Structure 1
């Protein structure tokens, strides 16, 4: 596209100054010089988003989901978080953001920072090198399940045209007990090899009616004859969810922060933490239409109810829809997508090193061959961090005596491709699909399968020519997933299951990447840690009861 091409309803693939949808954002991005500032105040109250029982909840700027943060591709975001909670620390993770050369702003307490103590503040600063739909949430145990979430939009080009951007649209589960209460129930159930408690409802954009008819539906107003972009976010703690809009196709143009070749579908499975940008064409008669959100039972997700909202054409009556939906499909696999900017993942290093890989994938472990391969054989418990001494502090001190419970490895090769084999081992207490999320990178999904990855034959099932790419993907229950990404972002990064109860119980691993080039804690970082230690040691009424993540 030429340098004069500008983004508009008929030219959404353009951006400006020679940047467009064809730009490889791994290596090039605008530098606007703009610093976009936000302030987020975290408070606690009680709420009833579906008209059901009132219970303790947390709000961001007096709302949940919190306000959507907006910036343009190439801007710098500077976000100050004020912790006004009474008895809880917090940290805010900017889910999907690469954090290129800004590891300490990833918001992962116990790894990149100490939690923010009550009455304290922290300012996060990072460059928007990508574009699309991300989100933010607390990474302090399961806390985000009580309401600390919000959207994050980086405006940029898209792979299809649209007229109006409707903004972010959250889909999430809701429990009538608090997240920490449900976490305790889930941990007890795990000991008896039983699933976690089901959700009580599914919220759409923070609201829904409950089974008794209380509450209210969210309403989206549309005009006939337009193309609307909707930014779907699954902000649930334990529910993978399918969505559809009666009588309308969903044209999918982005998964996570990766532009893709568009495809259309009636139903879209959104795993926990995933985002999709879809285009809806309002080419139907003027009426009201149900937007449906159904728990994905095939993904071992459970909920007692379902989500509904109303998409209303201008001129339609102010009433509930009578539209009839289609049957939701089964299965628990991510949609197969094709990145718009193609990449060939090198096959040779992986294939060669598999030939002499001496690792038993049936045994729970995380290890590397000291070349390009990392093996993570997953059971349910592994990581348990110390809020008072994050991994970044160890690196600053030059201390390599990392506690075993940090479940940490150092990846050996900078600026090289890393190949991870993630295997759910036999005997896992609850063998379910896991939505795996990677911090500091996104990754190419070379393949997935059931059973144990076979180092001799499974490589024949893998795709290296422009495979799907994203930052959350489903690891099959009793199965494996092979992913690849370039080691090009110094820091300590987390890879974990995004089911809140699972990472709280330890289903995660952290890896050090080019630690000699990592940004190191400064005086402001130390101030936040000192305030946290004072609060936690002298004033906290709640002990740490889980992994801390």
Structure 2
């Protein structure tokens, strides 16, 4: 018996040593700095780069590795944060990077140390979670390889020969500060989103990707843009989808993929045997998302190169662009079944409307998110037993308190005529229902539980999903990750408008978890940023129910005003003011008698005309693989 025990102990130690050897500590030192770039070849502008270069580096690690990342804010005029999109952060909620949610902002000159262990594998990305900064270039992929802890072999479930990472995104010629100022403005009462100037691929344009014949590529594709969804396809090639948002799925062959902001798809691309022709790689903007045309070229072409001596391909077309892959019908390879009936159902309605300042805001259940004075996680940690009461987290944070291990059903009714991609921190959720497009309906169509379609037995899980216009989605997840998690639209302009809610999950368990307590580094960052690391949403440390002087939304419009009404009022006022100015200018001008005579045809004279037509060449930057 003793020999058996010793043998088992030796075997256990052997596997433990191998596990320790396989898991590594990956150290990264990143400094956010301003750099000048011309990503589309049309316009040079200031962007947010890393260590005085651009783009930010792709991070790679293995499942089980511990990440230690030092982020220094080298931006001299603004705070920043860093979010690892799709990473659950089990027991490390303060490393999630949500500005004034789980984290204090990093002030200029400050350094935050992110320290967490990777429990997932697949394609993720990292980006700033402060004030639209990822639209300025603070973004890059994060690949977590599924390595066997003993053999070191990649345990990705499908075979391939080579791996390629592609980012697609939108790009603006103005920075987010300027764009936000014009967007949240009295003179943009309809809330028309800023239109990008370009669609990028791998942070450039006109990508040339040299491939070999008869080879299988694993392509990891992520939309790191701030606004528009894109349709991605490769001329005359099929895409075999095998992973979605870090979830392995059963193979599904499609011709083109619809990718919203923040979504990730991995697919296998089998190249042809012949090398006599090259093919177009296409990005198509979802034009339904654009309120005004702008100057965006909505179809961008890159190049899949089999033969460098052959001609480059021309633009390729699809004639039924809405016939793209429907992720609702993908099946997770794990076979995870539908969660049981929910313990708690949250029902929210999305609307867009104007408040008393004339600006257009976004709402969940008539509340637009306004950040508290104390990060919500720090309110939780300092509130004791009161942490289970949603009231202490503020009247404008849309906070819901969840019990540990409850099954949560989130019903989102979209009463807006636009598509929205929604992302949840800290979880994958099951996509239980997604309603059709009701754009042509007079009124929005909310979820009707009594007449719903039959749920799938094995639904897809992911962390970012889109809802169709005037329609609904229904999501389920298990509250098994104690912490403070934000659920928000990943269109950055809508998040700026307030389209967010907060899930406070198992708050008493968070308080008991030593790993969840604030690091000394985090506390020092809060002090440097002038943010109190304790207290309720109003920074009151004495009475957590006293929300005096909390941050709240602008007051409602006076009774009788509607969005359309204020639009009409604003433009009528503008027209009236312009009319008065024009009349005043012309009224003060001296009378030119000769011109009056000419106008009445009494006398004619020849007029010299000059014209100029300066045409600038449209040069685009190019990238290659």
Counterparts of 1:46 and 1:100 in 2: how far apart (Å)? 37
C-alpha distance 546-362 of structure 1, shift in aligned 2 (>3 A): closer
In structure 1, what is the equivalent of residue 133 of structure 2?
A: 143
SS at match of 2:381: helix
Task: Pick the aligned partner of 2:309 from 305, 317, 338.
Answer: 317
User: 8 Å contact 1:446–1:464 — kept in the other structure?
Assistant: yes
Q: TM-score, normalised by structure 1?
A: 0.81
Q: Note the C-alpha offset of 1:499.
A: 0.2
Q: In terms of Rg, which structure is larger?
A: 2
Q: Secondary structure at the match of 1:199?
A: coil
Q: Corresponding residue for 1:244?
A: 233
Whether 1:95 and 2:81 are equivalent positions in the alignment is no
CA RMSD, 1 decimal: 3.0
Give me the whole-angstrom Cα distance separating, in 1, the residues matched to 2:314 and 2:274: 13
Tell me if the contact between 1:47 and 1:56 (Cα under 8 Å) persists in the aligned partners: yes
- Partner residue in 1 for 2:521: 524
Aligned partners of 2:64 and 2:242: how far apart in 1?
21
SS at the partner of 1:80?
Answer: strand
Structure 1 residue 93, shift from structure 2 partner: 0.3
Supply the distance in 2 between the matched residues of 1:31 and 1:347 (Cα, whole angstroms): 39
Mark the runs of 5 or more structure 2 residues left unpaired by the alignment. Answer: 1-14, 147-154, 353-361, 439-443, 511-515, 533-550, 554-625
8 Å contact from structure 2 (residues 193, 290) kept in 1: no
Query: Paired residue for 2:203, among 199, 202, 206?
Result: 206
User: For the structure 1 residues 82 and 504, does the alpha-carbon distance in structure 2 shift closer, same or farther, using more than 3 Å as the test?
Assistant: same
Deviation string 1:165-208 (CA, Å, 9 cap, x unpaired) is: 12x21100011111222223332389532531321110000011
What SS does the aligned partner of 1:521 have? Answer: coil
Q: In the aligned structure 2, how far is the partner of 1:380 from the partner of 1:49?
A: 39
Match status 1:409 vs 2:395: no
Alpha-carbon distance in 2 for matches of 1:385, 1:514? 21
Q: Decide whether the 8 Å contact of 1:288 with 1:317 is kept in 2.
A: no
Question: Can you list the C-alpha shifts for 1:264-299, whole angstroms capped at 9, x where unaligned?
Answer: 111110011000111111115323322111101245
CA contact under 8 A between 2:282 and 2:315: conserved in structure 1? no
Give the match for residue 307 of structure 1: 300
Distance 2:449 2:474 in 1: 14
Of residues 321, 327, 332, the one that matches 1:339 is: 332
Q: TM-score, normalised by structure 2?
A: 0.71
Helix, strand or coil for the counterpart of 2:529? helix
Correspondence list, 1:478-489, <5 A: 478-489=470-481
Matches of 1:38 and 1:107 in 2, distance apart? 16
Are 1:169 and 2:166 an aligned pair?
Answer: yes
Is this contact kept in 1: 2:340–2:407, CA < 8 A?
A: no
* Whole-angstrom distance in 1 between the partners of 2:173 and 2:367: 27
C-alpha contact (below 8 Å) 1:44/1:56 kept by paired residues:
yes
What corresponds to 1:433 in structure 2? Answer: 419
- The question of whether the paired residues in 1 share the 8 Å contact of 2:421 and 2:464 is answered with yes
| 8 Å contact from structure 2 (residues 367, 396) kept in 1 | no
CA deviation after TM superposition for structure 1 residue 334, in Å:
4.4
Q: What residue in structure 1 maps to residue 491 of structure 2? A: 499
- What is the CA-CA distance between 1:312 and the residue it aligns to? 1.5
- For the 8 Å contact 1:137–1:144, the answer to whether it is kept is yes
Q: What's 2:377 paired with?
A: 392
Cα distance in structure 1, aligned partners of 2:529 and 2:102: 14
> SS state of the match for residue 483, structure 1?
strand
Alpha-carbon distance in 2 for matches of 1:228, 1:189: 50
Give, in angstroms, the shift of residue 63 of structure 1.
4.1
Alignment match, 2:544: none
Mapped to 1, the partners of 2:349 and 2:318 lie a distance apart of: 41
Alignment match of 1:294 (pick from 284, 296, 309):
284
CA distance in 2, matches of 1:328, 1:83: 46
Instruction: Name the SS for the 1:410 alignment partner.
Output: strand
The secondary structure found in structure 1 opposite 2:98 is coil
Work out the CA distance in 1 between the residues paired with 2:52 and 2:552: 28
Report if aligned partners of 1:35, 1:75 keep a CA contact under 8 Å in 2.
Answer: yes
Match of 1:213? none
Contact (CA 8 Å) 1:380, 1:507: kept in 2 or not?
A: no
- The number of aligned residues is 479
2:112 aligned partner: 122
Q: Which residue, out of 489, 500, 522, partners 1:508?
A: 500
Q: For the structure 1 residues 64 and 170, does the alpha-carbon distance in structure 2 shift closer, same or farther, using more than 3 Å as the test?
A: farther
Structure 1 window deviating more from structure 2 (227-236 vs 182-191): it is: 182-191
How far apart, in 2, do the equivalents of 1:472 and 1:175 lie?
23
Deviation of 1:363 (Å): 9.2
Matched, 1:52 2:38: no
Q: Does 1:75 align with 2:87?
A: no
1:445 to 431, 436, 448: 431
Of 398-407 and 245-254, more deviation after overlay is shown by 398-407
2:457 alignment partner in structure 1: 465
Contact 1:289 1:323 in 2 (8 A): no
**Larger mean Cα displacement after TM superposition, 87-96 or 414-423:** 414-423
Paired position in structure 1 for 2:181: 184
Choose from 158, 161, 168 the match for 1:160.
158
List alignment gaps of at least 5 residues for structure 1: 1-16, 18-28, 209-216, 366-375, 536-544
Per the alignment, in what secondary structure is the counterpart of residue 90 of structure 1? Answer: coil
- Residue 266, structure 1, aligned to residue 255, structure 2: yes
CA positional deviation for 1:153: 0.3
* Cα distance in 2 for residues equivalent to 1:435 and 1:244: 20
Q: 1:415 aligns to what SS in structure 2?
A: coil
